């Protein structure tokens, strides 16, 4: 009989929704979160809350949904210390579902395997689909890791997503997510530029996007982010600052592969500028405001140059 016990470390915007879907699919979910509010929401849905990550160590699969790998390593320190003294059950799977560096997660995976004598293995399984996909259970999940470890985690992954695929060894999922973010980040920036250009030229961005959606420029990014770009709704569904982090993974992977990424390089600088403008905690669509601010800055500079 399938063991449907799972731990979740990180119950924020994405993790809490993913854990809720696991509960609805019949999983017994035990969660940990740094702030009490999100933990209370999971408890209200029927989950169990523990005070420390190491208290998840007896479970067959543990999901980490924290901002980046350094946060995961910090949170998992007590867990690994426990496993050093008291090894986990054989075939334990640690699921890294955050967007992390493909190379760094490989290092982390080797460390976990060596420390536990192979009893625990890391699978990287980052997601795409945002909070809507997390709420609806329709995430796209791209995984990397040993085939046997992935198969053990696969039933839980299907409780959270509709597209679940193993793409290769550990790190492959994170590389796929980096490619995903390259497309999402640059497409959002291009749409933001188009909206600004249209509005400043006397066109209605909403009408423009409606036309674009019926042609080759139509995309899921346009469907989901387009309305927020039009209405300038920057309430966060996920902080925009994480796109800069994700694009840095693209650049790292490109250097390792010996390939050029001129579009990713330009986008990484644009999202770095977004952070410099203090907009990083707002929604990804706020890149339109970044571009608007740059346009205003350029106009002011031009006026200064033209002044007698």
Instruction: Catalogue the active-site residues.
Output: 177
* Rounded CA separation 43/29 (Å): 9
Residue 170 C-beta-side C-alpha neighbours within 13 Å: 21
DSSP codes of every residue in 107-159 = HHHHHHHHHTTTSEEEEE--EESHHHHHHHT-EEEEEES-HHHHHHHHHHHHT
Nearest to 99 by CA among 126, 135, 139: 126
Q: Give the Cβ contact number of residue 69 at 10 Å.
A: 21
Q: Give the Cβ contact number of residue 155 at 10 Å.
A: 18
Is-contact 39 74, C-beta < 8 A? no
């Amino acid at each position: 009989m399938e063991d449907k016990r799972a731990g979740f470390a990180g119950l924020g915007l994405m993790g809490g929704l993913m854990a809720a879907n696991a509960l609805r699919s019949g999983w017994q979910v035990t969660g940990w979160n740094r702030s009490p509010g999100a933990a209370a929401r999971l408890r209200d849905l029927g989950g169990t809350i523990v005070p420390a990550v190491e208290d998840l160590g007896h479970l067959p699969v543990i999901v980490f949904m924290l901002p980046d790998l350094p946060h995961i390593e910090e949170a998992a320190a007590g867990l690994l210390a426990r496993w050093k003294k008291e090894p986990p059950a054989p075939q334990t799977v640690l699921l890294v579902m955050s967007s992390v560096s493909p190379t760094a997660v490989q290092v982390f995976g080797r460390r976990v395997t060596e420390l536990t004598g192979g009893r625990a293995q890391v699978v990287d399984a980052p997601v795409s689909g945002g909070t809507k996909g997390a709420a609806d259970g329709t995430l796209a999940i791209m995984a990397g890791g040993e085939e046997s470890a992935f198969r053990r985690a696969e039933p839980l992954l299907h409780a959270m997503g509709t597209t679940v695929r193993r793409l290769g060894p550990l790190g492959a999922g994170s590389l796929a997510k980096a490619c995903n973010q390259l497309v999402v980040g640059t497409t959002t920036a291009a749409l933001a530029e188009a909206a600004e250009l249209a509005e400043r030229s006397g066109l209605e961005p909403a009408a423009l996007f409606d036309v674009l959606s019926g042609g080759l420029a139509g995309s899921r990014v346009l469907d989901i982010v387009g309305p927020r770009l039009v209405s300038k709704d920057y309430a966060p569904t996920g902080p925009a600052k994480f796109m800069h982090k994700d694009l840095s993974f693209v650049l790292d992977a490109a250097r390792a592969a010996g390939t050029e990424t001129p579009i990713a390089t330009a986008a990484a600088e644009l999202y770095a500028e977004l952070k410099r403008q203090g907009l990083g905690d707002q929604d990804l669509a706020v890149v339109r405001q970044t571009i608007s601010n740059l346009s205003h800055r350029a106009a002011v500079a031009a006026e200064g140059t033209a002044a007698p």
